[in-house]
Amino acid sequence: MMGPAWWAVLVLLAMADAVAGRFVVEKNSVQVTSPESLKGKYECAIGNFGLPQYGGTLQGWVVYPKDNRQACKEFDVSFKGHKSGARPNFVLIDRGECFFTTKAWNAQLAGAAAILVVDSKDEPLITMDNPEDTGTKHLENITIPSVLITKKLGEDLKKSAENGDMVSVLLDWRESLPHPDERVEYEFWTNSNDECGPKCDMQMDFVKSFRGTAQVLEQKGYTQFTPHYITWYCPEAFTVSKQCKSQCINHGRYCAPDPEQDFSKGYDGKDVVVQNLHQVCVFKVANDTGKPWLWWDYVHDFAIRCPMKEKKYTHECASHVIKSLGLDMDKINKCVGDPEADEENPILKAEQDAQIGHGKRGDVTILPTLVVNNRQYRGKLDKGAVLKAICSGFEETTEPAICLSEDVQTNECLENHGGCWVDKANNVTACKDTFRGRVCECPIVKGVKFVGDGYTNCEASGVGRCEINNGGCWKETKNGKTISACSHEESEGCKCPQGFKGDGVKSCEGTLSLFRNLLLHDLNTKFGLSPS
Ligand SMILES: *[C@@H]1O[C@H](CO)[C@@H](O)[C@H](O)[C@H]1NC(C)=O
Ligand SMILES: *[C@@H]1O[C@H](CO)[C@@H](O)[C@H](O)[C@H]1NC(C)=O
Ligand SMILES: *[C@@H]1O[C@H](CO)[C@@H](O)[C@H](O)[C@H]1NC(C)=O
């Protein structure tokens, strides 16, 4: 086991360039509508957790609690509006002492509709982020928006509230993202590593829940989506070190940290880079054939079919998924190139260059990161919140209907059964279209339940399975009479009838006389006759 020091070896291109490197604080505005003396519009910074209301506004009263002003403990008062339909309350909270996410959680528990965190110093606005490891247990459950306001505005609002003024504000996210035209361009910076704890789980949950929506938007031409992957590099002096060799491909040019942070076991960083590269190539090849949305299926299916836990995070498993989606494996292999070669990979080189910010977009240094119309999205990667952000990126009146309703269907099963298991002879498939995109789930046909992984196999099970394709067993028809190896006892599977020899699946062999005897026996039984 190596100490953490070796970590420092890998370098993020965006970080190395200290001069150009910059992080952009994404903002919304807060408009004070009363008291008169504070009326006006002020900037605030969107917290990177909870659900911001991109494209929308939220009006409420500002409450400054008497105790627990940093909201590090649970409140013993309620901030719920007294009547239903009453304007909600926003809680003014002092920065410091505990995580921003703890403050938001405590305020939410007490019924607050949003929090305004007051900075403790005079400084330009900062982005309130979630802590890396601890505190994540509430993270996924924070559903109120959070904003940071300047110390000056905070002091003014507090004074007013303590004077007994009714302080009313409008939180406004309508201008948080540019909305120049009728198409939204967005990017998702992600990672194929599925073993990084809550962050990886949340990332995958997002892909699962947003996939169907993303595909419909893309198919109808409303959006142009591009996935991206962060890669690190190994400084030249270290390229032959053990660390860089296990974390990097192409002689130290493209690296990823070891998934378990222990390169003596499990998968190495270089496995992650290779799988990331497969994902970029899947996008590229799918995009070149006019079906960029297949990336969502690939990433979704790969996570389910090729998890690290089951030791299936491999090229072979990736190939199965690629083939099931009907993508050209040769083109993908060509795009992936030779990871051992001492040369640049044009695809990964482009990914590294894209990490550096341009225009109004800052460098990408947090994973995952969503970029909408060249601005970074802040907040939880929640299907509804992200859809709102994308919807707010359309020029007004050009939004697709999905921005007004959530009624969508993907119809992906129409083509190639969505890459799911299919029994063409019997016209049975595991593909099902749902609002969340297609799923591969073994079906129930005429009361017979199929079981299996839904991708490569489904088998009829239970009573009645012999009715479907003879339960996958051998059968033969002679003189209008059928003899079958499908046993009605499911545990027996396929079993040749008595006197016949064979595996029961492909063949059962018996002499003609046996066959005849069996028929005779059947006939006798049928007519109530007994041979003995
Ligand atoms: C978060 O919400 C989920 C689903 O409602 C629940 O199962 C879980 O216990 C919650 N976690 C916390 C820390 O409240
Ligand atoms: C995807 O295809 C579109 C349309 O052909 C093209 O404009 C875009 O640049 C492509 N994206 C990538 C990353 O290749
Ligand atoms: C196969 O089943 C689908 C859905 O049940 C049906 O729409 C289609 O017509 C069938 N195709 C054939 C060849 O029977």
**Alpha carbon of 140 to ligand 1 centroid (Å):** 8
Q: How far apart are the first and last CA of the chain?
A: 76
**Alpha carbon of 113 to ligand 1 centroid (Å):** 19
**Alpha carbon of 240 to ligand 1 centroid (Å):** 46
CA 232/CA 243 separation, integer angstroms: 13
Q: Is 184 left (phi over 0), alpha (psi -120 to 50) or beta?
A: beta
Domains of the chain: 4-20+180-401 (3.40.30.10), 27-172 (3.50.30.30), 413-466 (no CATH), 473-527 (no CATH)
CB within 6 Å of ligand 1 — which residues? 137-138, 141
**Alpha carbon of 438 to ligand 1 centroid (Å):** 27
- By alpha-carbon position, which residue is closest to atom 1 of ligand 2? 287
For the beta carbon of residue 238, count every other beta carbon within 10 angstroms: 18
Contact 226 CB / ligand 2 (< 6 Å): yes
CA 328/CA 37 separation, integer angstroms: 66
Ligand that lies nearest to the alpha carbon of residue 218, given by its number in the listed order: 2
- By alpha-carbon position, which residue is closest to atom 6 of ligand 2? 287
36, 37, 41, 42: CA torsion to nearest 10: -140
Contact between 466 and 448 under an 8 Å Cβ cutoff? The reply is no
Contact 185 CB / ligand 2 (< 6 Å): no
Contact between 380 and 142 under an 8 Å Cβ cutoff? The reply is yes
Contact between 400 and 392 under an 8 Å Cβ cutoff? The reply is no
**What is the per-residue pLDDT for 136?**
56
Phi, psi of 468 (to 5 degrees): -105, 115
For the beta carbon of residue 530, count every other beta carbon within 10 angstroms: 8
- DSSP string for 127-163: -----SSTTHHHHTT--S-EEEE-HHHHHHHHHHHHT
**Alpha carbon of 465 to ligand 3 centroid (Å):** 20
pLDDT tens readout for residues 390-407: 998 998 878 887 876 544
Q: Is the dihedral of CA 144, 149, 151, 153 positive or negative?
A: negative
- DSSP string for 403-437: GT-------GGGTGGGG--EEGGGTEE-EE--TT-
Phi, psi of 501 (to 5 degrees): -120, 145
**What is the per-residue pLDDT for 83?**
53
Quote the DSSP letter at residue 328.
-
For residue 262, CA distances in Å to 246, 268, 269 come to: 10, 8, 10
**Bridge partners, 169 (sequence order):** 32, 60
Ligand that lies nearest to the alpha carbon of residue 422, given by its number in the listed order: 3
**What is the per-residue pLDDT for 532?**
35
Q: Which two tokens stand for residue 185?
A: 């361009």
Helix (H) or strand (E) holding 57: strand 57-63
Bond before 35 cis per omega within 30 degrees: yes
pTM of the predicted protein model: 0.77
Coil, helix or strand for 486? Answer: strand
CA 335/CA 350 separation, integer angstroms: 13
CA 116/CA 139 separation, integer angstroms: 17
Mutate to test the pocket of ligand 2, among 189, 224, 281, 347 (most ligand atoms within 8 A of CB): 224
Atom of ligand 1 nearest to the CA of 138: 13
**Alpha carbon of 102 to ligand 1 centroid (Å):** 15
**Alpha carbon of 450 to ligand 3 centroid (Å):** 18
**What is the per-residue pLDDT for 398?**
84
Residues lower than pLDDT 50 in the chain:
1-8, 17-20, 84, 406-408, 523-532
- By alpha-carbon position, which residue is closest to atom 14 of ligand 2? 284
Angle in degrees, CA 405, 431, 450, rounded to 5: 130
Rounded CA Rg of the chain: 30
**What is the per-residue pLDDT for 436?**
58
- By alpha-carbon position, which residue is closest to atom 7 of ligand 2? 224
Coil, helix or strand for 63? Answer: strand
Ligand that lies nearest to the alpha carbon of residue 354, given by its number in the listed order: 2
**Alpha carbon of 427 to ligand 3 centroid (Å):** 6
Contact 183 CB / ligand 2 (< 6 Å): no
**Greatest CA separation found in the chain?**
109
CA 255/CA 403 separation, integer angstroms: 39
Q: Which two tokens stand for residue 298?
A: 């690939």
**What is the per-residue pLDDT for 338?**
95
Contact 284 CB / ligand 2 (< 6 Å): yes
- By alpha-carbon position, which residue is closest to atom 6 of ligand 1? 141
Contact between 244 and 234 under an 8 Å Cβ cutoff? The reply is yes
- By alpha-carbon position, which residue is closest to atom 2 of ligand 1? 141
CA 459/CA 244 separation, integer angstroms: 46
pLDDT tens readout for residues 118-169: 999 999 999 998 776 655 567 888 999 999 999 999 999 999 999 988 899 9
For the beta carbon of residue 434, count every other beta carbon within 10 angstroms: 13
Contact 33 CB / ligand 2 (< 6 Å): no
Contact 253 CB / ligand 2 (< 6 Å): no
CA 63/CA 43 separation, integer angstroms: 19
Please name the residue that has the structure tokens 């190539």. Answer: 281
**In what side-by-side order are the strands of the sheet with 444-445?**
444-445, 448-452, 458-461
Contact between 371 and 280 under an 8 Å Cβ cutoff? The reply is no
CA 52/CA 47 separation, integer angstroms: 8
Quote the DSSP letter at residue 470.
G
For residue 403, CA distances in Å to 282, 367, 384 come to: 28, 26, 10
